[in-house]
Amino acid sequence: MKTLYKYLTLIVVLAVCGIIAYFYFAPSRSRVTLHDATIKEVKDMARLCTVEIYEEVPVRGHVGQRHLVAREVLVGNISFDLEGLAMDSSSDTIRVTLPREIVEIRESTEPGSYTVIDNWNDSFMGDANITTAEENKMKQLTLDSFVKAVYAKGYVKRARAEAVANLTSLLSSMTGKPVVVTDPSPEGYQGK
């Protein structure tokens, strides 16, 4: 029986050495095979993202005499739906109208992205606790205010200018024709 184990061990060791020797001495050929690319879903590709947003903002609010001050990290982006492009390719020049921007802002889910700095009550012995629903309402007001600030700080204006430049180069390289991209609202469509 011991002899059988010795022979089996010897065979396994020789097989492992053979495999290692094959990969070590084999000619260096690529083990990667390439296949033609196919696009199965265009929906995700049909959005042009021009500006990523990451910003820390203060959260301030009160419910009656109870007050809250916190720090929140907001993330998001400004993108454009390329499916809705108004395009005229009837002449030798392709004319494109930039669509409405999509501003997506949300609270970051990273650890430490929301920190309560202080909460208090104006009355001497009053309870300073704020419920989760009240806190979420304060966060939503901060988020709505920040979306307005994105327009006021010029982020949307910059995103629209970058989208015009990116679309011009992208479409002209794809079609080989001259492309003119017009922006009917360079400041954005806030409130329109």
The burial of 63, by beta-carbon neighbours within 10 Å (0-12 exposed, 13-18 middle, 19 or more buried), is given as middle
- What is the structure's pLDDT at 161? 92
How do residues 65-108 score in pLDDT, each as one tens digit?
889 999 999 999 999 888 878 888 888 888 989 889 999 999 99
- What is the structure's pLDDT at 42? 42
C-alpha angle with apex 157: 153 to 162, nearest 5 degrees? Answer: 130
CA distance 159 to 51: 6
How do residues 136-192 score in pLDDT, each as one tens digit?
999 999 999 999 999 999 999 999 999 999 888 888 888 888 889 889 998 988 866
pLDDT at 121 over 80: yes
How do residues 19-48 score in pLDDT, each as one tens digit?
777 767 666 655 555 555 554 444 444 577
Q: Which SS3 state, helix, strand or coil, does residue 150 take?
A: helix
- What is the structure's pLDDT at 45? 47
- What is the structure's pLDDT at 3? 73
Run of H or E including 140? helix 132-152
- Among left, alpha and beta (phi > 0; psi -120 to 50; other), residue 59 is beta
Helices 132-152 and 155-175, axial angle in degrees (round to 10)? 60
Cβ contacts of 42 within 8 Å, gap of 6 or more: none
- What is the structure's pLDDT at 39? 44
pLDDT at 49 over 90: no
Q: What's the average model confidence in pLDDT over 123-138?
A: 87
CA distance 23 to 112: 48
Closest CA to 171 of 87, 106, 103: 87
| pTM of the complete model | 0.67
CA distance 129 to 139: 16
Cβ–Cβ contacts within 10 Å for residue 74, how many?
21
Cβ contacts of 155 within 8 Å, gap of 6 or more: 51, 53, 78
- What is the structure's pLDDT at 110? 92
